[in-house]
Amino acid sequence: MAGLMMALLGLAWVIGGSLWLLARRRYALRQAPQFAMDLLGVPVDLAQRVFGRGGVPYALLLPNLLIFGFFTFLPMLLNIYVSMTGGSSIALFDRPFVGLQKFAELFDCESLLIPKTCTNAGYNFWTGMWNTLLFVLVQVPVMVAAAMVTALVVNRDIKGRGFWRAMFFYPVMLSPVVIANIWNWVLHRKGALNAVVGEAQGGLTALAGMAGFDIVMTVLLGIVLMVVTERALRAGEGPSLAWRAVFGGLFVLLAAWAQPLSLLGLPGSTLAGAVLAAGLLWCVANDRAARAALTLAAVLAAAMLLAIQFDAVFDFGRYRPTNWLVTPNTGWPFFWLVFVFCWSHMGFYMLILLAGLQAIPRDLYEAARMDATTPWRAFWRITLPLVMPTLTVVIVLSLIRSFQIFDEVYLLTGGGPGRETFMVVQNIYEVAFSSNNPDYGQAAAGSILMALVIAVFTFVQLWLTRRQSEL
């Protein structure tokens, strides 16, 4: 029926338009392209004929608004109607009106925070919702930070800039299916990652077994530590942020190996080391007792270095391959989802941030250099405030995008193991489209709740950055 209407409309357009055009002017055969162009614009010309120039913009807007109206705004309103109907009929007016029953089903829980206490529908929905929220809260900061660092690096005066930028953008071009297949191949139990990790660990363990390895490693690392400390401490020549970053990295590494907290019977030395190193960097960056803090940290690092038995550090025992995407209660499936999502989407946000960075006038940095500002300070005081509008846009866009995560998860883990990576869009998809007894009402109710959550997040975000926002 609709097809017939479309065909009739098309026919009227082509035949009527041709007649109209041919009546007004003659076309030579070689003017066929121009004729096609005129034919395409017949409605606009007609509008100009009938209503004058004032009618033209409406005619130009019409196709876009028709599609927006029918396929974006109408569905939004329809969502509310559908969420209040039951049954599994596809004919819109065949559906019995049930009021807010579908919402009540979703909210039929003792506690929303514990999906286990809900009925079946609520269990699936809230599991998906909390998983998605967790995913968004972890993924957005990680991705924005990675995109920012990458944008800063490729914005530097480096060789082959175009190549690096293009390479980081490349995964954006790949489809979710291809991405899922590639990473499935890498993360498979017998896949590339396990093979590489196993070989590396075997090699390190064998190396550590050689005589004198401890002494050689300690001496080597000691020399590196001395050089780095000297570089980071060097005064007068302008403090170097990069060397301090290297020092921080070294410090974290040493803490991870030496596990100083384990002497007290406590876990989490790596984290403690990272916190210490970050605090140190912050101290140094703000020039508060920088020399003292750095010297103290160097002494600590030296003590840890002497305490490490390197052959014990590199003895990983027999490595057993992990089933990255399948093993439950390890957090690995979730980690790899975040990783793969960042891998595939980071480039796009990097490009937007890059555009923002390039809009910052160069002479600001030159003036800062005249005043002997550290690069660290220049970043906080010049780069960040000026790139903030772009950053806000990036955060909002990536937030909205991450809420909709479906393809990669569905294809990589299918929501598993168990329901560990089950996302809310997958719940909507499964309820409405892949079950034998589709419950469109419940899926629509779920989408409305999801829209509310996204709206809240977006508005909080826009409100927090209201002074810098461009949206």
Partner 1 sequence: MSVARFLTRTAGNRETAQRFGLQDVLAYGYLVLGVLMILVPVLWTLFSSVKSETAVDSFDTRLLPLAQVTAEIEGEGKKPLWVLAEDGEERLVFKAGPTRKITEVSPLDDPDTVLEVPREQLSPHEELRIATENYLDPILKRNGQTTFDFFTYLWNSVFVTVAATLITLLINAMAAFALSKYRFRGRLTFTILIVATLLIPPSIILVSLFFVVWSFGIFGSLWGVIIPAAATPTGVFLLRQYMLTIPDELLEAARMDAASEWLIFWRIVMPLSLPALSVLAILSVIWRWNDFLWPLIVLISDPTKHTLQLGLTQFAGEFNSDFHYILAMTVVTLIPITLVFVWLQRFITTGIATTGLK
In sequence order, what are the residues at sequence separation of 6 or more whose Cβ sits closer than 8 angstroms to the Cβ of residue 229?
A: 247, 294, 298, 301
Of 218, 255, 375, 303, which Cα lies nearest the Cα of 295?
303
Window 276 to 295, contacts with partner 1 (CB under 8 A): none
Residue 251, both tokens: 């410090």
The SS3 of residue 158 is coil
Nearer to partner 1, 198 or 260 (CB): 198
Instruction: Tell whether residue 377 is a contact of partner 1 (CB under 8 A).
Output: no
Sole window of 11-19, 105-113, 145-153, 377-385 interacting with partner 1 (rule: CB under 8 A) = 145-153
- At residue 109, what are phi and psi to the nearest 5 degrees? -135, 160
Binding-site member from 9, 12, 22, 74 for partner 1 (CB under 8 A): 74
Residue number, 377 or 401, with CB nearest to partner 1: 401
Residue 323 in contact with partner 1, rule: CB under 8 A? no
Which residues between 228 and 247 bind partner 1 (CB under 8 A)? 231, 240-243, 245-246
Q: How far is the CB of 314 from partner 1 (least distance, A)?
A: 22
What is the chain's length?
471
Tokens linked to 197: 């990790």
Query: What is the DSSP-derived secondary structure letter of residue 96?
Result: P
E strand spans, 152-303: none
Q: Which of 154, 225, 254, 298 binds partner 1 (CB under 8 A)?
A: 154
Residue among 194 and 269 whose Cβ is closer to partner 1 = 194
**CA distance readout (Å), 92 to 81, 86, 396, 437, 451:** 9, 11, 34, 16, 22
Query: Which of 283, 336, 444, 461 is in the footprint of partner 1 by CB under 8 A?
Result: 444
Write out the binding residues for partner 1, residues 97-126 only, by CB under 8 A. Answer: none
- Amino acid letter, 315: D
Q: Does 45 interact with partner 1 (rule: CB under 8 A)?
A: yes
Least distance in Å: CB of 167 to partner 1? 5
Our finding on whether 255 is near partner 1 (CB under 8 A) is no
If binding is defined by CB under 8 A, does position 355 make contact with partner 1? yes
For partner 1, the binding residue among 18, 79, 309, 323 (CB under 8 A) is 79
Binding to partner 1 by residue 224, rule CB under 8 A? no
Interface characters, 403-442, with partner 1 (x: CB under 8 A): xx-xx---x-------------x--xx--xx------x--
In whole angstroms, give the CA distance from residue 100 to residue 8: 42
The torsion defined by the Cα of 89, 91, 96 and 99, in degrees rounded to 10, comes to 100
Please name the residue that has the structure tokens 């357009």: 13
